[in-house]
Amino acid sequence: MDMKKRLTLELRNRKAAEVKEMVLDNCRSDDGKITGLTSDFMNLEFLSMININLLSVCNLPKLEKLKKMELSDNRISGGLEVLAEKTPNLTHLNLSGNKIKDINTLEPLKKLTHLMSLDLFNCEVTMLNNYRESVFALLPQLTYLDGFDADDQEAPDSDPEPDGEDADENGE
């Protein structure tokens, strides 16, 4: 299914301005760009575009309320300055499984002053020497990189499994 059709389906007879979450995973972007998504989705807080064949985020509309963005398993290799310009309040960004090869590609993310969590699993950049130290130095606003902080402490919400499996059975 193409992205425009999927957007129409996801609207479910709502106005674009009423939508706070949009999941477009696995739909296809024929030209490698975002299509159909407009600034009419001004109240969007969560946007997921996993595995949609994206090469670029250059067509991303201004989404000032967007906090979380999932872009994993695409073919993005750069052009991240668009994110800083169009999504200034982004707090969580997942770029895992993209074609990001060097630390300099992440430089535009410095302008995302609210960015707390960045995921780059399965990107070539993670193979570089001192990768974690370099990213935390480049992006001092980050709390978590790939689910762990600078001291290798796991992010509290990265493992949603409950501690005790039968706590609910006893009403505790």
Q: What is the pLDDT of residue 166?
A: 42
Q: Determine whether 41 is exposed, middle or buried from the number of CB atoms within 10 Å of its CB (0-12, 13-18, 19+).
A: buried
The confidence score (pLDDT) of residue 113 equals 97
Q: Mean pLDDT over residues 128-136, rounded?
A: 97
Whole-structure pTM value: 0.89
What is the DSSP annotation of 76-94? --S-THHHHHH-TT--EEE
Distance CA 11, CA 43 (A): 13
Q: Give pLDDT tens digits for 16-74.
A: 999 999 999 999 887 899 999 999 999 999 999 999 999 999 999 999 999 999 999 99
The one-letter amino acid at 106:
L
Residue 169 has pLDDT above 60, yes or no: no
Q: Which distant-in-sequence residues (6+ apart) come within 8 Å of 162 by Cβ?
A: none
Residue 163 pLDDT exceeds 70: no
Taking a C-beta distance cutoff of 8 angstroms, is the pair 115, 90 a contact? Answer: yes
168 confidence band (pLDDT: 50, 70, 90): very low
Query: What CATH architecture is 3-145?
Result: Alpha-Beta Horseshoe (3.80)
